[in-house]
Amino acid sequence: MSLAIKDDEVDIVIGALRSDLTTFMNEWRPMFSRFHVIIVKDPDLKEELKIPEGFNLDVYGKPDIDQVVGSSTSILFSGYSCRYFGYLVSRKKYIISVDDDCLPARDPKGFLVDAVAQHISNLTNPATPFFFNTLYDPYAEGADFVRGYPFSLRGGVKCALSCGLWLNLADHDAPTQALKARQRNSRYVDAVMTVPARSLIPISGINIAFEREAVGPALVPALRLAGEGKCRWETMEDIWSGLCVKIVCDHLGLGVKTGLPYIWRTDRGDPIASLKKEWEGVKLMEEVIPFFQSVRLPREA
Amino acid sequence: MVEPATATQAAAPVMPQLKDELDIVIPTIRNLDFLEMWRPFFQPYHLIIVQDGDPSKTIKVPPGFDYELYNRNDINKILGPKASCISFKDSACRCFGYMVSKKKYIFTIDDDCFVAKDPSGKAVNALEQHIKNLLCPSTPFFFNTLYDPFREGADFVRGYPFSLREGVPTAVSHGLWLNIPDYDAPTQLVKPLERNTRFVDAVLTIPKGTLFPMCGMNLAFDRELIGPAMYFGLMGDGQPIGRYDDMWAGWCIKVICDHLGLGVKTGLPYIYHSKASNPFVNLRKEYKGIFWQEEIIPFFQQAVLPKDCTTVQKCYVELAKQVKEKLSKVDPYFDKLADAMVTWIKAWDELNPPTAGSVPNGKAA
C-alpha cells in the first residue's frame, strides 16, 4: 500500500543559525548519512560554519541567496527563514527539515528515534482526512480502520506534509513558556494521525517533512514579524506557511499528518526576553485565523 | 502481549469524584461478574443495569453495589407503546438507561471490558479519566498538536490563538480499548489474531466538522448537555441491521455538538476488551450497514441544522426529519428509524420533564 521512497529523492534541509554544527551533525549522522543534505547559513551569521566530514552536502550562504533572489528580496531568508532558501534550490521530491538545536530523541524503550525514517514512512503511507479513525494511523503495524469507518475512504489520499513533535522543550509560545518556566514535555505519545480536512493546525517548522513537488510553493516565509529574532519564540513564519499549506491541501485533497516522530529540543533562549518580540505575532494570529477559517479557493485552482 | 490489570484496589481514588452526579449504565444478557474487577472504581457509584433478552432470567449482581435493574417487561411498563423505540436482543437497549437516569453524567461500559494496565503496569481507572475529560474544556475550533492542552505537562502550542484557549464544554468522552480492537467483521475475518497493544497516551478533541466512529463500549457523556441525542437506534430483533447502534448515535451527536458549540473528546482512558464476538455473526448483522454507511456518512457530513434549533431535542427532531427526507430512499428502514427517533425524544421528554427556567443547551453555531 505504501510507496517506496528512494534515498536520492530526499533532501535534508537545515537552517544554520549557529556556526558550530559539529555536535548536531554527529548526533544525526546515523539518520542523515544516506541522504543529500542542504545547509543554509543564516545570512546574518558572521562566523564560519563548522561542519564535520563525511556527509554528502551543499552549503549555501548570503552570497548564494543574493545571487538567486536578489539582495532586496534576500531579507526574506534571514534567521529561521533561511531554510526556505534550501526548499527553493532543492531539486528533490521530498524534504525533511529540523531546527539546528534539535537532536535525536529516545523512545520510552530507550531506543534512538530515527526521525528521518518516520517522516518518510508518514509521507509514503496514505493520509485519511475525511473521517477520523479512533485508532489513529490505520496503516501502522498492529492497527487498522475501526468499525464504522466507510470502506470507500480506506484508500486514503496522498500525504503531503508530516509534522513531528518535540520532547524536552516543546514548541510553546513565549508567554506560555515564561509562565511555566520549568515545564518540559516528557510525554511520548505513540501515534501518527491525519489532521482532518477543514481543521486548522499550527504547523511548527521545528521538525517537518513534506513533498516538495506537491506543496513546496506554498511554503514561503511570507509572514515576517517586524521584530523577528533568532529564537523560535520570536517567529511566526512557519505557522503562517503551515496554515497556507493546510488550506491548499484541503482544497487539493491532500493529507497532513501530525504526531511521530519526536525530536529532542535542547534548552535555549529566554522566553521572557522574547515576550516583547513575539507579542506582535500573537496579536496577528487573532486576525489571521478567522481569515484562514473562511478562505475558499476557486475550483480552478 | 497485553493483559488486564488485577491489582485495582491500589489505584482507587480516596475521594471518588461526582459520585452523586454520575450513573454507570451497563447492558447485559449474561452476568455481571466483570464488576468484581471494577469494584474499587465503581462501588461508590449508582449502577443502572439494562437487562436485554429473556426477562424471566435473573441477572445476579455482585453484592455491595447500589443499582436499579430494568428488563424488557420494565421497559414496556414504563414506556408503554413508546417502548417500540428501544431495541430488543441488542446492546442498543442500553440507551433506555440514559433515559431513566436522573444524574448529570453517564458512563457506559460493556460487560466484557476489564481494567487495563498503562505501560508502567499501573491499573487504569477509566471512570476517573472520563470524569477528567468531561470536566475539562474541549478545543474543537483549532487543532492543538500537543493534544489535550489542559493535561498536566502539556499546554497550547505556539500559534494557537489566545481567543480560542478557553475552550468549550465537553459533552462526550470516547475511550479506547486494548487487546481486542473494535474492528468490523471483514477486518476481524482478515486479521483474527490482531490485538491492540499500542497505548497512546493522549486525549484529544475531535475537530468541528469532522465525523468519527463512536464506540459504545467505553463511553461517558454529559446527559444534560447531549443526553437526548444519545439514542442508539433500532437494532437487533426484527431489524435489518445490528452493530451500528453506537455508530448512529455518534454521527448524530457529533453533528449536534458541532452545531451547539460543544466538544467531543477521544483517546484515554483505555479499558481491556476481553471478548471477540463471532465474526460470522457480526458479518450478518453488519453487512447492510457496510453498504448503507456509504450513503449515511455523506448525509451527516452535509447535514445543516437551522439556527433556531437551540436545544438538543429540537436539533434531534430536525435531524430525524432530514433522515426521513433523504435516507428513506436508501432503505425503508430509515423511515422507521426516523419515526423511532421522534418517539425517543417524546419518551425522553416525558421521563425528563424540563425544570422551570431551563435554558437551551448551547448557542447555535
> What letter does residue B280 receive in the DSSP assignment?
H
**Which backbone phi and psi does B302 adopt, to 5 degrees?**
-100, -5
Find out whether A147 and B247 touch, Cβ atoms under 8 Å: yes
Is residue A245 in some structural domain? yes
> Residue A43: CB partners within 8 Å, gap ≥ 6?
A61, A62, A65, A74, A77, A78, A82
C-alpha cell at B321: 426529519
Mean pLDDT of A101-122: 95
Residue-level pLDDT at A234: 63
User: Using only C-alpha atoms, what is the Rg of chain A?
Assistant: 19
Residue-level pLDDT at A159: 96
Instruction: Flag the least confident range among A47-56, B4-13, B250-259, B311-320.
Output: B4-13
Residue-level pLDDT at A225: 56
> Residue B358: CB partners within 8 Å, gap ≥ 6?
none
C-alpha cell at A81: 527563514
Find out whether B224 and B312 touch, Cβ atoms under 8 Å: no
Question: Does A110 have pLDDT greater than 90?
Answer: yes
Q: Compare all CA atoms of chain A with the CA of B159 and give the residue at the minimum distance.
A: A202
Identify all chain A residues contacting B158, using CB atoms and an 8 Å cutoff.
171-173, 176, 202, 204, 232-233, 236, 239
Question: Does B223 have pLDDT greater than 70?
Answer: yes
Identify all chain A residues contacting B141, using CB atoms and an 8 Å cutoff.
293
Global pTM?
A: 0.92
Residue of A80, A130, A146 to mutate for B, most B C-beta atoms under 10 A: A146
- Asked if the Cβ–Cβ distance from B159 to A173 is below 8 Å, we say yes
Question: Does A99 have pLDDT greater than 70?
Answer: yes
- Asked if the Cβ–Cβ distance from A132 to B198 is below 8 Å, we say no
A168 touches chain B (CB under 8 A): no
Q: Where are the alpha helices (DSSP H) in A108-188?
A: 115-124, 174-179
Query: How close B197 comes to chain A (CA, Å)?
Result: 8
Cα–Cα distance for residue pair B140/B264, rounded to 1 Å: 8
B247 touches chain A (CB under 8 A): yes
> Residue B141: CB partners within 8 Å, gap ≥ 6?
A293, B164, B207, B208
Instruction: Flag the least confident range among A40-54, A103-117, A172-186, A266-280.
Output: A266-280
C-alpha cell at A27: 548526533
Residue of A134, A165, A183 to mutate for B, most B C-beta atoms under 10 A: A134
Look up residue A1 and give its amino acid: M
Is residue A171 in some structural domain? yes
Mean pLDDT of B231-255: 95
- Asked if the Cβ–Cβ distance from A148 to B213 is below 8 Å, we say yes
Mean pLDDT of B212-227: 97
Strand A36-41 vs strand A10-16: parallel, antiparallel, or unpaired? parallel
A292 vs A33, higher pLDDT: A33
Query: How close A138 comes to chain B (CA, Å)?
Result: 11
Question: Does B193 have pLDDT greater than 50?
Answer: yes
SS3 of B43-81: the string is: CCCEEEEEECCCCCCCCCCCCCCEEEEECHHHHHHHHHH
Residue ranges of B 99-128 with Cβ closer than 8 A to chain A: 119
Cα–Cα distance for residue pair B42/B45, rounded to 1 Å: 6
Residue ranges of B 289-328 with Cβ closer than 8 A to chain A: 290, 293-294, 297
Question: Does B317 have pLDDT greater than 90?
Answer: yes
Q: What's the CATH number where A128 sits?
A: 3.90.550
B183 touches chain A (CB under 8 A): yes
Q: What is the mean pLDDT of chain B?
A: 93
Question: Does B150 have pLDDT greater than 60?
Answer: yes
Question: Does B32 have pLDDT greater than 80?
Answer: yes
**Confidence band of A77 (pLDDT split at 50, 70, 90):** confident
Is residue A72 in some structural domain? yes
- Structural domain boundaries, residue A59: 8-294
Winning range, highest mean pLDDT, from A3-7, A47-51, B261-265, B350-354? B261-265
Question: Does B365 have pLDDT greater than 60?
Answer: no
Identify all chain B residues contacting A131, using CB atoms and an 8 Å cutoff.
210-213, 297
- Asked if the Cβ–Cβ distance from B294 to A151 is below 8 Å, we say yes
**Confidence band of B36 (pLDDT split at 50, 70, 90):** very high
Mean pLDDT of B151-167: 91
Question: Does B271 have pLDDT greater than 80?
Answer: yes
Find out whether A259 and A192 touch, Cβ atoms under 8 Å: yes
Residue ranges of A 195-214 with Cβ closer than 8 A to chain B: 195-204
- Residue B70, Cβ neighbours under 10 Å: how many? 19
Cα–Cα distance for residue pair A150/A148, rounded to 1 Å: 6
Q: Which residue has the cell 423505540?
A: B85
Residue-level pLDDT at A109: 92
Q: Compare all CA atoms of chain B with the CA of A167 and give the residue at the minimum distance.
A: B146
A182 touches chain B (CB under 8 A): no
A145 touches chain B (CB under 8 A): yes
Question: Does A123 have pLDDT greater than 60?
Answer: yes
> What letter does residue B124 receive in the DSSP assignment?
P
- Asked if the Cβ–Cβ distance from B145 to A140 is below 8 Å, we say no
B235 touches chain A (CB under 8 A): no
Among candidates A142, A236, A293 on the partner chain, residue whose Cβ is nearest the Cβ of B197: A142
B198 touches chain A (CB under 8 A): yes
Is residue A1 in some structural domain? no
Q: Compare all CA atoms of chain B with the CA of A174 and give the residue at the minimum distance.
A: B158
Q: What is the mean pLDDT of chain A?
A: 87
B184 touches chain A (CB under 8 A): yes
**Confidence band of A146 (pLDDT split at 50, 70, 90):** very high
Find out whether B78 and B199 touch, Cβ atoms under 8 Å: no
Instruction: Flag the least confident range among A118-122, B157-161, B187-191.
Output: B157-161
Percent of chain B with pLDDT over 70: 96
Cα–Cα distance for residue pair B182/A278, rounded to 1 Å: 45
Question: Does B359 have pLDDT greater than 60?
Answer: no
Among candidates A149, A201, A286 on the partner chain, residue whose Cβ is nearest the Cβ of B145: A201
**Which backbone phi and psi does A86 adopt, to 5 degrees?**
-60, -40
**Confidence band of A270 (pLDDT split at 50, 70, 90):** confident
Residue-level pLDDT at A3: 64
Cα–Cα distance for residue pair B275/B28, rounded to 1 Å: 14
C-alpha cell at A11: 533532501
Q: Domain tally for chain A?
A: 1
Mean pLDDT of B203-208: 97
SS3 A212: helix
Identify all chain A residues contacting B147, using CB atoms and an 8 Å cutoff.
189
For B22-351, the fitting CATH number among 3.30.300, 1.20.120, 3.40.50, 3.90.550 is 3.90.550
| Per-residue pLDDT reduced to its tens digit, A189-240 | 999 999 999 999 998 889 999 998 888 777 766 655 555 556 666 677 788 8
Q: Which residue has the cell 493520509?
A: A127
Percent of chain A with pLDDT over 70: 89
Residue-level pLDDT at A227: 53
Residue ranges of B 140-179 with Cβ closer than 8 A to chain A: 141-147, 151, 153-164, 174, 176
Is residue A105 in some structural domain? yes
A98 touches chain B (CB under 8 A): no
Identify all chain B residues contacting A132, using CB atoms and an 8 Å cutoff.
206, 210-213, 266
- What residue spans define the domains of chain B? 22-351
| Per-residue pLDDT reduced to its tens digit, B279-316 | 999 999 999 999 999 999 999 999 999 999 999 999 99
